[in-house]
Structure 1
Amino acid sequence: MKKKNAATADGRFELIVQQAPVGITIFKGKDMIVEMANETYLQIVDKKEEELIGRSLYDSLPEVRTFVEPLLDKVYNTGVSHYGFEFPVILNRYGQSELTYFNFVYQALKDAEGAIFGVFVVANEVTTLVRVKQSIEESERQFRNMVMQSPIAMTIFRGPDHIIELANTTLLKNIWRKTEEEVMGKKALEVFPELKTQKYPALLQKVLNTGITHRESESLAIVGEESFYLDFEYAPLRDTEGNISGVMITVYDVTEKVVARQNVEETKERLRLAVEATGLASWDLDLRDMSIQHAPRLVEILGYPAGTALTHQQMRNSVIPEDLENIVLKAQEEAMTSGIYQYEARIILPDNTIAWIKTQGKVIYDEHKVPFKIIGTLRDITEEKAFSQALERQVQERTKELAVQNETLAKMNAELKSFAYVSSHDLQEPLRKIRIFSERILETEIDQLSAKGKDYFSRIEKATVTMQTLIKDLLVYSRTSNTERTFEKRNIDDLLNEVREQLSEELEEKNATINATPLGIAAIIPFQFKQLLINLISNSLKFCRPGIAPVININHQVVKATAVPGTTTAIEQDYYHLTITDNGIGFDNEFREKIFEIFQRLNQKEKFEGTGIGLAIVKKIVENHQGIISAQGEKDNGARFDIYFPIDPHR
């Protein structure tokens, strides 16, 4: 009976094993001979019963030997069970080699005496679950990488203490200014205590409590010692059971945009204040419906009560009809092609007074190059017009006066030319005859003259010569003032050689020496500059010291305008600097200005001949060259003349 019951129990056990949803098999002996394997196990390894039963596991499934043999041997030798969790094994099944995963138990089988004779195996394949888990982990890894590499600042806070679980590089570098080590796993409000006094902790808690996403734009946040304007989103994170476990924070730093806009707004406000300070009134005309927007100042200019909203037609009605037709409408027509809208016109104010306005604007085009708007300014120019008209009347009156003066001056110049002609012919001719007849009397009648008569005739001859010289010098001075000034580039050395030749007798008579460095080329009025050299050298010969041979030194250099005494010109140009010095009698330096005045003499005419015009002519010539001349002297120790004039007089 016992045997029968035991057989029945064994049958039931075998039936249960065969129907079990997990793989069950029994290995006997060290070679792991498969004694039995249920249907689930056979399906797992893709084998038929005859391919496994009675054969070694390693013969039937050689690909698993490297994975399981060490484990099976250990259980068989020690009797200690082994539990595997998501254990990886490569199986050749269903026509391919496949990496599979199992949860399993290796349990040692013992006989009645306790000796181990085999291993009992229960295996549950979890390949699908592991792959799903790996897929989830990969997705999480990819998501983390995406967050970490995102150009948008992102972080994740967990729990009510807002533990920082993740913070990407953008957030760490650009806003938090911290490293991962300084923030990961820490409470956000401990890392950033300055947030406690701001609105953000309350918003985070609200999202945790309600599960409702919160968004804001251009929100001011102080992080550390810096201020930021942020667009941000707080989104709730839920666990697998749907409970809110944290908050995902996305942050856009819009500080530059906000600051730039604030700067633009401040600039606009400053511009508005500046425009109002200048009396300008801005306006904006929509050409599509002729609606207009304008500043309050425009209402004031057109004479309407403050706060009046003027239409474009009202503004047009203010313009005098004549100016509207001839000026304003034509200006608008031209603006459609030129893009510039501007005019000056008269308007009639509500009190019937006339005022002047000036409008300037620019046409704005759409993407099809069609004008759709004009923006501009309007200004009251009534006072300017009144001033301009008064000035114009004054100019006209002054022009008439100048015309009369020019006519008078032309007559005076004609008379001066007549005087020059009379001086050169009519005045000199009687003097020439007086001199000739005086010389003849002295030659033929000298024996018949008394001593006093001889003296009188000698004085007549000297006075005649002096008068002729004076007339000649006056003619030179006159021509210097009135002749046409034609500049030529000339070699000054050539002019000096001509002067040496012309004054050769005087130089030889005085035993004089002229020392000159190369004088170069300059733009001059040739005959005037030659006269300048003649007068200055003659001056040195005339006023030499008795018994001392005259020595005249002539030098030049090119200097900048800033080095010229007494000049205030800002023009960058070169000046010709001519220096003439001598070793003559000199003069007291207090007379350095007076010597250039016409008819001025510093010495007695009995000792030194001259008319007192020579240096006046020199000064006039220098002025004709747009230059200046100065003199320095010391009594009995010579004189120095410095002459400056532009190398290019046409600049």
Structure 2
Amino acid sequence: MKTKKNHSTLEFLPQGGEMGDLIRAKNWSKTSIGNPEDWPQSLRTTISIILNSKFPMFLFWGPELICFYNDAYRPSLGKEGKHPYILGSKAEDYWKEIWQDIKPLIDSILSGNEANLTEDQLLPIYRNGKVEDVYWTYSYSAVHDESGKPMGVFVTCTETTKKIMAIKQLQESEDRFRTLSDQTPMMVFMANKDAEVTYWNKSWLDYTGQTFEQAIGRSWDKIVHPNDYQRLLETYSISIEKRSNYTIEVRMKGKDGKYRWFLFSGGPHYLENQQYEGNVGSGMDIHDHKEALYELKNSKNEFQFVIEAAKLATFNYNPITNKFLCNERLKDWFGLKSKDNVDLSTAIASVAKKDQKRVKKAIQKSLEFSSGGSYDIDYTIIDPNTLQERMVRAKGSTLFNKDKVAYRFTGILIDVSKESLANKKIKESEQRFKLLAKSLPIMVWTADVNGNLNYFNKVVYKYSGLQQGEIDNDGWLQIVHKNEREENIKKWKNSIDTGNDFLFEHRFKRNDGKYRWQLSRATPQRNEEGKITMWVGTSTDIQDQKLFAKRLEKQVKKRTLELEQNNTYLENMNKELQAFAYISSHDLQEPLRKIQTFASRIVSNEYDNLSDRGKDWFRRMQNAAQRMQVLIEDLLTYSRVNNTEIHLENRDLTAIINEVIEDLEEELKEKNVKIELAQLNKINIIPFQFRQLINNLLTNAIKFSSTDRKPLIKISSKIKYGRDFENEKLIANNEYCYICISDNGIGFEPQYGNKIFEIFQRLHNRGDYEGTGIGLAIVKKVVDNHKGFITAIGTPKKGATFNIYIPVNTENILGLKEAL
């Protein structure tokens, strides 16, 4: 008795890690390639190479492209994905997400083309419980069987997702650096070890007037003031020699030919091996500051003049000696006599009681080293003699000794009483505005100077049904109809940029999900200097006015448009279709009839004299002639549908459908088709066209029925308003007869829902299903003649559904479409 060979003893299957174990354990008899002992040597050799390689490898084998892979490839499949189910399975079943990408490559290799190499291609795959973006570098090459025929596709690959992500992150980092660098007012540069600049930011280019190409290299030699040039080179060299940072003040020539002072700071940059690579630094414009310091150094009186001109009060306090000095203005504000000696407690005593505790706390914090010594506070002071209030803003800083002890606390006070009063008036004005906005029945909103909306009255929240937090988080554009959002943003941005009034008509989503037209307008509010401080806008419901205006416009244009369109359309179509009908009915069919007649004579008299190949060719000729006959008849039908005057009749759909069922009796019996009719309506239709529509849809359902189950066709109808259907093309206030025809046939891919109505469009192979590709185009034309709409929804291997919407009153539909 012959003993069946154990898989584990096969020479090409030992070891191989996890995948070797899985291949040995799998029941291959249930696959198309059978048990391993029967595999061809080419397959065995290839699998042996794959299993013993540490490089990721994959194999598609045989007509069904059965899948094999090794341990090195395994990590690319992730967890909760294709592994281990893909082993020994058909490739198309497990690579659906990228099948359209890899199938042409596989076919190319199996057709005998050379091996290919693809680098860093994005091929999303399902793994780790979801579809992930994965980048691959891979090569496809052929594996030939013993006869030399390509029988498999050998894949060597490596996942480059991490590399691509790293490159993208590096690019994003580079973009962020350049964006940040260009936004800073300081000059930023990078130089190589030869002091040649490889990067200048926008501030340098703007100041010098150079292009980026002109600025790189040693072009800075000509920008530095001649008197500062040697000093800059020496500082630069010492920095490199001592491996330390540097700071230097130099003059740079601008595009206007004038020099300005800049403070440059930078330092050398070294590689990991401590080899000097270059220099990185920045320059800050200190010209005004330097000139100010120069002036101050030369004239203390001018400094005092600045203090007086700015109407500043100054103070200087020594926490160690408790000595407090101030100018005359501070004494005047605090109600003190000029000759009085002032201490800190006396000054604080003049602060309003409501603010004294806060001021003491701010001073105490400023005297602590950990605070950084900053002092900034607004408070009220009261003249003890006149009891007059004054609002001041105090700013100062503290100096600390080496022991971190404060030894000097100095600063200034600014009278901000007018500013405070102005702010108070602004707040009162805002309160009055919001009170008015709350009482208005229209939407009111405001925006800051940059166009950011920051206030909505209650009407906005009531209309939209949204809370303030929802609008703050997701933005106000969420209530604007998606078709107007882009134009809305464009017009609003233009108003912000130009200062012109904003005026725009758009639809807002109401809390019940319906949209209504609004007229939004906004006007900029300007200060005394003419600068915009804010925007105030309103949105008014104009839905009724818009519909009324459109209806009026429709009444004026209706007759003119109808006559112009109908006359032009009928004249052109009649000429074309008459010529086409004549050619199709006579010039095309006459020679076709002769072909069919002579073919019949040959079958009757000469058929036995033909060779087997001749008989096959003759059969193909007859089939081709028959298909041409059907095509001509379908084209004639299409032209008649397209060229028919509209004469509507009120007919029962049940009667129309029963007539078609009777005509198709033989086809229905042949495939044992069951038809279920629900209660159907009476509607205004063109009877012979609608009979053609039903005939084509039923014929289509019979043709594409599934062999796995008994064919079933369901037909139903109902009359409702357009707003009750989920179809944006329908007019909300008009009635439609909705007709649904569904089957349980082979179906089609959902993305072909619109494409199937195109003339000569075929979704299935001619060898599997006969047809001309005109049937559904005729259906679409009939629906169009009835001013209706048709959609198709398909699910592969489950069936198809055709949804037809026919207006109950065609005249109303025509009128409203023109009005809207």
Q: TM class, shorter-chain normalised?
A: 0.3 to 0.5
Normalising by structure 1, what TM-score?
0.38
Of the two, which has the highest radius of gyration?
1
Larger RCO: 1 or 2 (CA < 8 Å, sep 6+): 1
Normalising by structure 2, what TM-score?
0.31
